[in-house]
Amino acid sequence: MRKAISFLMHLFSSNTLHGTHSPFVYALLRDCVYSKMSVRESVKSYYSGMKERKDVIEGFDHGAGKSVRIEVGALAKKSVTQHFESNLLGRLVNHHSSQRILELGGNLGKASATIASMNENADVVSVEGNEGLVQMAKDGFDTLGIKNVNLIHATFDSFFQTNEMKFDFVFIDGDHSYEPTLRYYQRAKECLKGQGPIVLHDIYWSKGMEKAWASVKQDPDATVTIDLFFMGLVYFRKNQEKEHFKIRFPKSLFGFFL
């Protein structure tokens, strides 16, 4: 109910291309957000096919803080980004010519596989704490012939403790609660080079995520934020007035009811 109300409010308060006056955001919407470029069919159908699987996966979910035992099909339906979301991530990486991408929350590997196969010259580093998922995601990359994803089995905190890499694009899609999301956002900023973006998934998923998104918007370094409802984009552009955009993404209406 809370999410439905937030969604309706978003619909009424958001703009499309034509209500957007910032040249940076206008070009981003025209050339990337509203573009139709999508991942090759083999990647899409591989992850769609996973929804039918009845085998069970076990492991420790560091977001929920407990052991989980779940059918792969159920996981593929509810835990991974929808096609329109992972395609948008791939287009964003393409639009910004990002070279090294960090994903927090690899899961079955769908988002990283999509980004990687839409951007074969980029390197994707994906972090996942559940060992069973790591193995399953790696099997998927092998099946699809995807070679530019480095999937790391670690908790997000332990990854950041030892990480020395810099990234020009970060996708945060792990523990969807307030305090951990802000912690990962801060750590992501520390290893970000350039103007971003840092992308937060599911910014209206819970009250905690709404609060985390509101805090991120207050960050003085975050000069441009774009609320697409199903994800939020944060840019760190120098010499730019701070500005927040709410953008209507046609497929999110469809995606909301999936």
25/125 with CB nearer ligand SAM: 125
Please check whether residue 212 is in contact with residue 231, taking contact to mean a CB–CB distance below 8 angstroms.
no
User: Least separation, in Å, of the C-beta of 243 and ligand SAM?
Assistant: 28
142/221 with CB nearer ligand SAM: 142
User: Least separation, in Å, of the C-beta of 125 and ligand SAM?
Assistant: 13
174/232 with CB nearer ligand SAM: 174
User: Least separation, in Å, of the C-beta of 159 and ligand SAM?
Assistant: 8
174/197 with CB nearer ligand SAM: 174
**Measured distance CA(32)–CA(91) in Å, rounded:** 6
Please check whether residue 101 is in contact with residue 170, taking contact to mean a CB–CB distance below 8 angstroms.
yes
In 3D space, the residue among 128, 155, 157, 154 whose CA is nearest the CA of residue 141 turns out to be 128
Measured distance between the N- and C-terminal CA atoms of the chain, rounded to whole angstroms? 15
Token pair for residue 147? 């070679």
Phi, psi angles (nearest 5°) of residue 251: -75, -15
Please check whether residue 258 is in contact with residue 76, taking contact to mean a CB–CB distance below 8 angstroms.
no
Q: How far is CA 13 from the centre of its chain?
A: 23
In 3D space, the residue among 66, 67, 152 whose CA is nearest the CA of residue 109 turns out to be 152
User: Least separation, in Å, of the C-beta of 66 and ligand SAM?
Assistant: 11
Residues lying near ligand SAM in the complex (CB under 6 A) are found at 61-63, 79-81, 103, 105, 107-108, 110-111, 127-130, 133, 155-156, 173-175
User: Least separation, in Å, of the C-beta of 235 and ligand SAM?
Assistant: 21
How is the beta sheet containing 169-172 ordered, strand by strand? 149-153, 123-128, 100-104, 169-172, 198-201, 231-235, 224-227, 243-246
35/79 with CB nearer ligand SAM: 79
User: Least separation, in Å, of the C-beta of 238 and ligand SAM?
Assistant: 29
Please check whether residue 61 is in contact with residue 130, taking contact to mean a CB–CB distance below 8 angstroms.
yes
User: Least separation, in Å, of the C-beta of 249 and ligand SAM?
Assistant: 17
3-state secondary structure of 240: coil
